[in-house]
Chain A
Amino acid sequence: MKLSSPIKISYNNLLAAKFRSFLTILGIIIGIASVIIVMAIGASAQQLILSQVSGIGSNLVSVLPGGSDEKGPPASALGIVVTTLKETDLEAILQKRNVPNAASGSAYVSGVGLMKYRSNSAESSFQGVSASFPNVESVILKSGRFFTNEEESGLARVAVLGPGRAVQLFGNEDPMGKVFSIKDTNFTVIGVFEERGSSGFTNTDDLAYIPLETAQKILLGISHINSMRIKIDSPANMERATADVKYVLRTQHKIKNVTDEDFSVRNTAQAISTITNITNVLKYFLTGIAGISLLVGGIGIMNIMLISVNQRIREIGLRKAVGARARHIIAQFLIEAVFLTLIGGLAGIVFGIALSFLASVVINALGYKWEFIISLTSIGVATSVAILIGVIFGLYPARKASRISPMEALRYE
């Protein structure tokens, strides 16, 4: 049997009931469009989050105060103040005999205070970090330099600004060498960073970086640190170094059992896999929801095909009378169903791509680095799903049509 003929019949039937056909395939259009959108936005969001995590720097081991199990966040990440982590812990970790694979490390404290330069003033965040901070995180200086070990231990009042902070405080002026105040203490700007983009919940470009001890003693009045990051020499040594860091911290804190740990250690590899897991679950969940709309669309197709079979009983009888076998009738109605879902699918793909593109334009306008990702895979998947829906939901009506007896069909009024 020629294939062109059933396709032409499908096309004619489609045209004969344009509006009804459109309503029927609308379900498929919406379903396929949501699959495309979910896949596109899922991929872009994953990309965005992962780039933020890896944007901090690679091969990092992070230590937060407060115990936790592997999966959950430590208490300190939820805003509870834990004071058990000290700068001396970092010094112990950085000793070659303790963690041989530690290349560098930085401690962190953070705070918020009124920053003032002439008439400009705003409540903003600052971060106290070690002098080795640029060796740990991936930062590039746009101008000036970072502070030295001597400046850090000497409680120097110097600051390196994120580019956003520099613009907010100094506007068009060159901030280098200028003096501004944090909580009424004067700081001299010695460097400005290149733009890095936001990371997690804080935009690092808006921070002011000052020496750790200056922040602890002068601005915050504390002796503990909020967190530390240790740079490991190679990705292959991450697991070993993570274990070493934990061992050192247990020794430092005189803890015998792993379950009693008062700190939490994470490495970037773990973070990336955790985030990938979470975003994958989200992606599958959303795809599942899109799948439900496809199911509804498929039922619509089945319904319209059953109506079509009923309306064309005489045609089926005639085709059988002139020699059509059961498989010819099945093929004809399956092709019709697939024709409908494929048209819906293609329209859905176009619609989905358009909406994803629109979303990326809007999100980019909101200031995120959002990539517009449409993979050929997602188009392939959407097309196959559309065809599959046609076959699955067309099969029952098609088989029903093929079983109609020619004698009864020709007598049918």
Chain B
Amino acid sequence: MSLIVVQNLSKTYETEGVKTPVLHEVTFEIKKGEFISIMGPSGSGKSTLMQILGMLDRPTEGTYLLEGKNITQYSDDEMAKIRNKKIGFVFQSFNLLPRTSVYENTELPLLYDEDHLEMNNEKKITKALAAVDMSHRTNYLSNQLSGGEKQRVAIARALVNNPEVIFADEPTGNLDSKSGLAVMRILQQLNDVGHTVILVTHETYTARHAKRILNMLDGRIVSDELVKDRLIADGEGELLK
């Protein structure tokens, strides 16, 4: 069974009576354990699609099944609960809480996990910070970190609840190439241990770290193909594989 099934999904924004169609009858599937890049030029609807897949927004038309369940039946609070348990987000602009420690930023999703309140929180946080190689900065405040470090904390926050899917919208967009590479390496490692990773990017180079690339143009998917010469980010630099 596919993790994500999208059929004829459309999205039209409506602001003050002005309708902006952004997605047009998009159809595709994503299986558990995939690493997929959504590519396309600016304004093509990548972020919009990611937000709908991440249950931050609802489609105007069409169906979206996550683990076989149609999300349109859920209330806002139920969607929040699913985001909490199954989805992790990484954004281009990090979105860490200001004046708050690395530890507390990572802890955030656990605070809203009402089924497992206070259960092994410290262990989970330590593990997540170790996975992004940020254990040595646990007690730093968010504003005492470099951009690359911030993004690694953001990834720790995304994976602390051990989600099924991790969505990353231009995670390297604000980083230099070295920090960007570190981020890609972490995402690949997470994918290796079983997380499904959905990456939004407009750079071919970054996209080629995934196993599959969806190309978008004007709200439509124009190509959907596996990556033949996938890039693997490791410590010493890029290796062609």
Contact = CB atoms under 8 A, between A and B. Distances in A.
Given A315-B97, A318-B95, A407-B51, A325 B56 contact: no
A7 B80 CA distance: 23
A321 interface: yes
A336 to B, nearest CB: 14
A235 to B, nearest CB: 63
Interface stretch (B109-117, B173-181, B197-205): B109-117
Contacts of A319: 108, 112
Interface stretch (B83-91, B122-130, B214-222, B225-233): B83-91
Given A1-B114, A2-B118, A5-B111, A323 B57 contact: no
Contacts of A2: 111, 117-118
A320 B114 contact: no
Contacts of B118: 2
Given A5-B111, A328-B112, A322 B89 contact: yes
Interface residues of B, number: 29
Interface in B137-193: 157, 161
A410 B91 CA distance: 9
A347 interface: no
B83 A323 contact: yes
A12 B100 CA distance: 9
A323 B56 contact: no
Interface string A378-413: 000000000000000000000000000111001100
Interface string B44-76: 000100010010110000000000000000001
Contact of B83 (A5, A322, A411): A322
A12 to B, nearest CB: 5
Given A323-B85, A325-B81, A1 B112 contact: yes
B99 A323 contact: no
B16 interface: no
A411 B83 CA distance: 18
Contact of A322 (B76, B77, B112): B112
Contact of A324 (B47, B56, B80, B117): B80
Nearest to A8: B104
Contacts of A318: 95, 97, 108
A323 B109 contact: yes
A9 B57 CA distance: 27
B99 A406 contact: no
Contacts of A157: none
Nearest to A325: B77
B91 A12 contact: no
Contacts, number: 67
Nearest to A13: B99
A82 interface: no
DSSP majority for the A interface?
A: helix
Contacts of A314: 95
A322 B84 contact: yes
B101 to A, nearest CB: 10
B84 A323 contact: yes
A314 B96 CA distance: 10
B83 A321 contact: yes
A323 B100 contact: no
A296 B193 CA distance: 57
A410 B92 CA distance: 11
Contact of A16 (B57, B99, B161): B99
B80 A320 contact: yes
Given A314-B95, A407-B56, A410-B56, A321 B76 contact: no
Interface in B27-53: 47, 51
Nearest to B121: A2
A326 interface: yes
B72 to A, nearest CB: 16
B138 to A, nearest CB: 17
A406 B118 CA distance: 25
Nearest to A5: B111
A326 B112 CA distance: 11
Contacts of B81: 323, 325
A321 B56 contact: yes
Given A314-B95, A319-B108, A410-B91, A326 B56 contact: no
Contacts of A322: 83-84, 89, 108-109, 112, 157
A244 B10 CA distance: 95
Interface string A292-333: 000000000000000000000011011111111111100000
A321 B90 CA distance: 10
A1 B111 contact: yes
Nearest to A323: B84
A411 B118 CA distance: 31
A314 B94 CA distance: 11
B195 to A, nearest CB: 16
Contacts of B100: 9, 12
Interface of A: 1-2, 5, 9, 12, 16, 314-315, 317-328, 405-407, 410-411
Interface of B: 47, 51, 54, 56-57, 76-77, 80-81, 83-85, 89, 91, 95, 97, 99-100, 104, 108-109, 111-114, 117-118, 157, 161
Given A322-B112, A406-B56, A407-B56, 9 more contacts: A1-B111, A12-B99, A318-B108, A321-B54, A323-B84, A326-B76, A326-B77, A406-B57, A407-B51
A-B complex: 5 closest residue pairs judged by Cβ atoms = A323-B84, A323-B112, A407-B57, A322-B109, A407-B56
29 contacts: A1-B114, A1-B117, A2-B111, A5-B104, A9-B97, A12-B99, A16-B99, A315-B97, A318-B95, A319-B108, A320-B56, A321-B56, A321-B89, A322-B89, A322-B108, A322-B157, A323-B109, A323-B113, A323-B161, A324-B80, A324-B112, A326-B76, A327-B77, A405-B56, A406-B57, A407-B51, A407-B56, A410-B56, A410-B91
